[in-house]
A and B are shown apart, each in its own frame.
Chain A
């Protein structure tokens, strides 16, 4: 079952922060976050495994609440290069197969 992302779209000014949420109706073994720019392949951002961990990558971090079956992606001090569509991919079968959410489109303006 496809995870649900919110919000569907976000418009920010450079330097502002954003949070993207990903919610699953099934128990999660892992959550993967990707960013895709128009016409390009998705680019890996980070992976979170069972254990409620939080990870960071420059000014982008994420959390994973196993009990709530949710993950959130945090973008701080956004840059123009952060623009794109963000997808969470969830593994609910521990097979490595990822089902992606519908995506959150982020637009960062100068």
Chain B
């Protein structure tokens, strides 16, 4: 159980376009999902906390208008990278925790490798 599905697994887009990444919890409900970004050989950097039915909470230094997060249901959160630029190229990973279990493990999606040309 506790499967998180992320789509697409990779995407190549042109500079200036927008890309949407989906994160779904397949067999549990998630009131909260977390979006991380990882550059090569670096750590997982938390971008934002996605809250079902309310606005996302962004970490310091993360542009809200550039990384749009929508958590419309208990099983789906989306991250849209707007007006993407080459420096946005990275590995984006979502994670989710089952509803009401604050100290339970985070379950990660398989990640989306974004390349902006």
Q: Does A110 reach chain B (CB closer than 8 Å)?
A: no
| A-side contacts of B102, CB under 8 Å | 94-96
Interface residues of A (CB under 8 A from B): 2, 29-30, 32, 34, 40-44, 47, 49, 87, 89, 91, 94-103
Q: Which of B97, B102, B107 has the most CB of A within 10 A?
A: B102
Min C-beta distance of A71 to chain B, whole Å: 14
A100 near B104 with CB under 8 A, answer no
A40 to B111 CA separation, bound complex (whole angstroms): 7
Give the residue name and chain of the B residue nearest to A2 (CB): B43
Residues of B within 8 Å of A, CB-based: how many?
21
Q: A41-B108, A103-B43 are known contacts; what are 17 more A-B pairs with Cβ within 8 Å? A: A32-B105, A41-B110, A44-B105, A44-B107, A87-B43, A94-B102, A95-B49, A95-B102, A96-B32, A96-B97, A96-B103, A97-B46, A98-B106, A99-B46, A100-B36, A100-B43, A102-B43
A37: min CB distance to chain B, Å = 12
5 nearest CB pairs, A to B? A41-B108, A44-B105, A96-B102, A100-B44, A102-B43
Check B104 against A47 for contact (C-beta < 8 Å).
yes
Q: Is B54 an interface residue when CB atoms closer than 8 A count as contact?
A: no
Complex Cα gap A54–B89 (Å) = 39
Given contacts A41-B110, A41-B111, A98-B34, contact A30 B103 (CB under 8 A): yes
- With both beta carbons as reference points, the residue of chain B lying nearest to A105 in the complex is identified as B41
B114 CB contacts on chain A under 8 angstroms: none
Question: Is B93 in contact with chain A by the CB < 8 A criterion?
Answer: yes
Q: Determine the distance from Cα of A33 to Cα of B44 in the docked complex, in whole angstroms.
A: 13
27 contacts between A and B (CB under 8 A): A2-B43, A29-B103, A40-B110, A41-B93, A41-B108, A41-B110, A41-B111, A42-B44, A42-B93, A43-B108, A44-B105, A47-B105, A94-B102, A95-B49, A95-B102, A96-B32, A96-B97, A96-B102, A98-B34, A98-B106, A99-B46, A100-B36, A100-B43, A100-B45, A100-B46, A101-B43, A103-B42
